[in-house]
Amino acid sequence: MANTQQGYRPSFFDRPVFGLVMGSALLCALLLVAYFIDFVPGLGGMDIRIFSGVKPGGYNATVDKLAAIAAKKKGVIRNVPTNGSLENLEQLADSPDKNAFALAQTGLKIPDGFELVARLSKSETVFFFGRDAFKIKNFSDLKGKKIGIGPEGSGAAHFARTLYEKMNMAALGVTFSNHTSDEQMKLLKNGGLDLAVMVFADNAEIVESAVIKERMEFATFRQAESIAKKLHFLRTAYIREGYYDPIKNIPAADKQVLKLDTMVLCKKGTRRSQIIGLLTTIQELEPDLVIFNNTIPNLTGVSYTAASRDYFANHGPEIFDVYAPRLMDFMPLGNLVQILMAISVFFNLMNVANRFFLWRVDANRVDIETELRNYFGRPVTAEEIALEELEGRHANAESRAVLDALIDRLTRLGEKCRKKSLSLLVPMGKEQAYRYQEEIINRFLSAMKAYREKMQ
């Protein structure tokens, strides 16, 4: 007895170390919850850079507004000024920062590895500024003009060269030159330039200054619709009469202009929480962001990020993006649902397998009981077998061999039942069904062995 007690080792689940492991696991779970869950939603985890454009251009001003909105929710958006869209793309491509974004106009060649976050609903206008720009009505009126196209690397420069190539402007003998916005205004005043191409939002500070303070006009083309048809990234719109000064009625009539959409881009691998945070901020600035991206066809040639597709399909951030943004960086909701579904399927399969094994144990036991009934010639219980006197017809080697075979079968069935009940794949609490089968098997085994001893 003493040796038995000394050799006894309690199960791991009954030892104090198991309680320690469970306590540690619970503590880790609480720490993970505290890390991943934002009980007070905000943008505290957002810290990004956006390559914008020249000051005081529309892109730069837009990012300043976004930064102010994000700051109210404890988010950080760093505005990085550049010379324009082309430089934005170069800066983003060279940036090792996975939380960097760039604004760029449509029509540019987008490098591989870039993804589209959103298209801003407020597009930019292609302005052809000049002292006498109101005299220009046809594309052919550009013949022989000296045209400033903005700094090298700007979206305006890229647009002007694309227009030059696609519209066969070589025949017009135009001369292009690169200058900053301020330089172009000075050259327009002193006659160094006839026109200046600028790409800005209609209400950009630099545009209002040019129209109201500098008294600059901007050209319109009767062929605007045709140009937009040939260059698919363009569309047309109108700047309404009196838009810039309703009292002085500037402009004096509705003017048809060419429009370029604005893309927000990032590199593949950018964290989902940063993308969702930026989209949330943009939507506060542009409430029609979701409608615009859902209804206006994407002709940019760049695919949306997975986070953006989820955001627009859901018409805003999903619940986990709001309360568990860091968790979504590791496991997007779609993957989380798939994992939960897989776990659910796994447990259901376990339950089906468990029922199957129980059925086979019970069926094999019933088969043995049926053979016992045939052996004794009538239905018998375990208790009746144990008390049964040896019948004369069983006092032979053949009957002993039959009973030995039944005892062997039932013993192996009992061992199989015990093995299945101890399996980790048996759902917690379901082992009781195996215990019930074991109890019946053990009763019959005890009775059959008692009857077998009477055959000696």
What domains are defined for the chain? 3-36 (no CATH), 104-329 (3.40.190.10), 337-453 (no CATH)
Can you tell me the distance from the alpha carbon of 66 to that of 171, in angstroms, rounded to the nearest whole number?
44
Which residues are CB-contacts of 107 (< 8 A; sequence separation ≥ 6)?
A: 158, 159, 162, 231, 233, 234, 260
pLDDT value, residue 69: 94
**Share above pLDDT 70 across residues of the chain, in percent, rounded to a whole number:** 91
What's the confidence (pLDDT) of residue 91? Answer: 92
Q: Which is more confidently placed, 151 or 336? A: 151
Pairing of strands 114-130, 195-200: antiparallel
pLDDT surpassing 90 at residue 308 = yes
- Reported as a single tens digit per residue, the pLDDT across 4-21 is 455 667 666 667 776 788
N residues, the chain: 456
Q: Is the pLDDT of residue 36 over 70?
A: no
Q: What is the pLDDT of residues 413-455, one digit of tens each?
A: 999 988 888 887 787 778 888 888 989 999 999 988 988 888 8
DSSP, res 210: I
Which residues have a Cβ under 8 Å from the Cβ of 375 and sit 6 or more positions away?
A: 399, 402, 403, 406
pLDDT of residue 335 exceeding 70: no
Task: Name the H helices within 195-271.
Answer: 205-208, 224-230
Residue type, 69: I
Report yes or no on whether pTM surpasses 0.85. no
What average pLDDT is seen over the chain? 85
pLDDT at 327 over 80: no
The answer to whether residue 1 scores a pLDDT higher than 50 is: no
Q: Is 335 left (phi over 0), alpha (psi -120 to 50) or beta?
A: alpha
- Run of H or E residues at 304: none
Q: For position 347, what pLDDT does the model report?
A: 83
